[in-house]
Each structure stands twice: as C-alpha cells, then as structure tokens.
Amino acid sequence: MRADETTHEEPGHHWKDPERVRDFAERMDPRAEDRAEQFRLVARIIGAPKDAALRILDVGAGYGALGAALLDAFESANATLLDVSEAMVELGNERMKPYDGRYSYVIGDFAGGVLPPSVGTGFDAIVSSLAIHHLPPNEKRSLYADIADRLNSGGWFLNLDIVAPDDAVSGEVYRRIFEEDRVARNEKPWPTSNTDRSHHDEMQPLADHLLWLRDAGLTAADCYWKRFGTAIFGGRKP
Ligand SMILES: C[S@@+](CC[C@H](N)C(=O)[O-])C[C@H]1O[C@@H](n2cnc3c(N)ncnc32)[C@H](O)[C@@H]1O
C-alpha cells in the first residue's frame, strides 16, 4: 500500500512516500524560475541587510528550495529545515550541499499544530512553502501561535501557500487557471483528482489566515502577494 492510501494518516505524512517526493521534485524543477521569483519576494519582505546573520526556520522545508533562496539572499544567515519526510531530507541533503555548514535538518512533525521542541526558538524569520495547508484549521491556528512565540522581536513569519477561494465562482477560476498553467507547462496531471486531493489539502480563505496571524499577536498581518490560489501572507512580531 502506498503511503498516500492510508486512511488515518497524520496531515502531510503522505510525503514520506519516496515516489511522491521524486514526483514533486520532477514537477517543481521546471517551475524553478517562477518559484525563485516568489522566494525573492519573501526575502524582500524580510528586508534585512544582505550580510545580516539571520536565524531562519523553514517549516515543511522539503528539499530546501525556499531555505536555499534565503541563504542566497542573506549571506551570513543560517537555516533550520524542519521536515517529517526522510525521503525529502535525503534529497535535501543532496541539493543543499553548496550550503554545507549553514543549514541543518530537523526531522520532526508539526501535525497537531505544534512545532517539535528540537527546532528551538529565537528565530529572526520563520518561513514555509506549500506545507502548512495540510493541517486542519484549528491546527493551523495553533501552529501560527507557536511560530509567533518562537520569533525574535521584529522577526517575520511568511507563509507561501495555497488558499481557498471565497466562493464557487472564484474557485472555478482558480481551478481553470491551474489546469491551463499545467497544460502550458506540459506537466502531467496530478496523480489524484482535485476531489481526492482534498484528502491531503485543507485550504481556507485568506481572511481566516489573517485572523489567525493577528490572534497569534503578529502585526502587519497581510497578504503580500497572490496569484489565484497561491499567496504569500504573514506578519511581524512586534
Ligand atoms: C509540497 S512539499 C513542499 C516542500 C518545500 N517547502 C517546497 O516548497 O519545495 C510539503 C513538505 O511539507 C512536509 N510536511 C508536510 N506535513 C508535515 C508535518 N506534519 N510535519 C513536518 N513536515 C511536514 C512534507 O514532508 C513535504 O516535504
């Protein structure tokens, strides 16, 4: 049985399947340029000097794409990369070789809406890309609170993730554009239908996220960039 066919799986644990990890990397590599542009925006929102010795945490870091982009943007920064999937971490350790000494993986779980204690605290920036949407809403809310607790004053939390449309018509637009983009990229269909994907993906509207960010005590809680169902949103610790 594939990991994604189990029925009582913790949110996001389907990524432990090495086949899914290979498939994800194959899909993301041709999108590297578009993704790099989004990651540069994350760096620009953080807005620290290039030589700032930032402590960065990437939640659900995967093979390290966002973490690596931030290590490029901030030459003296170091990054903790949290991920539950050993297969992702293995690929990440291959791809992150140019950053040896500046990153470390923590294999751990944020399901339940709490970061594992081993990631530590006192971060200048906590980021995430395409990972937190797996959590149910109450766990997202508690994760945002935990993240806010682990930020230094003035530190940013920025989440680049998929969000739910506000209504059925905008949802149809999101789906159509997603499909048109996929075809234009010549990318094979995702292995499961959109309906089946809802087993793994738990999206809520942006307004909910902004509320949870404010509840977590973050200021400047805002959506800083959005393209249909993908957005960069977050806030800053006062
Ligand atoms: C779609 S991938 C995105 C990876 C990376 N952030 C990127 O944008 O390339 C989602 C990642 O989140 C991790 N993840 C999902 N749920 C998790 C959980 N509960 N705890 C820790 N990591 C999790 C997965 O293992 C996977 O590597």
Give the residue-averaged pLDDT of 143-148. 98
CA angle 86, 88, 90 (to 5 degrees): 70
Which residue has the least CA distance to atom 4 on ligand 1? Answer: 62
How confident is the model over 179-191, as pLDDT tens digits?
999 999 999 887 6
CA dist list (Å): 190 to 45, 55, 71, 196, 219 = 31, 35, 31, 10, 37
* pLDDT interval class at 148 (50, 70, 90): very high
CA dist list (Å): 153 to 125, 157, 235, 236, 238 = 10, 11, 12, 8, 6
CA of 22 to the centre of ligand 1 (A): 13
Burial call 23-51: b when 16+ CB within 10 Å, e when fewer? ebeeeeeeeeeebeebbeebbebbebeee
pLDDT of residue 192: 60
CA of 180 to the centre of ligand 1 (A): 25
How confident is the model over 106-133, as pLDDT tens digits?
999 999 999 999 999 999 999 999 999 9
How confident is the model over 78-95, as pLDDT tens digits?
999 999 999 999 999 999
Residue ranges making up the domain that contains 77? 3-236
* Secondary structure of residue 149 in the 3-state scheme: helix
CA of 117 to the centre of ligand 1 (A): 18
pLDDT of residue 4: 43
Q: How many CB atoms neighbour CB 14 within 10 A?
A: 18
| CATH number of the CATH domain containing 99 | 3.40.50.150
Q: Is 130 in contact with 161 (CB distance < 8 Å)?
A: yes
Rounded distance, CA 89 to CA 114, Å? Answer: 20
* Secondary structure of residue 205 in the 3-state scheme: strand
Rounded distance, CA 208 to CA 75, Å? Answer: 34
How confident is the model over 13-25, as pLDDT tens digits?
999 999 999 999 9
Which residue has the least CA distance to atom 16 on ligand 1? Answer: 12
pLDDT of residue 9: 81
Q: Count of domains in the chain?
A: 1
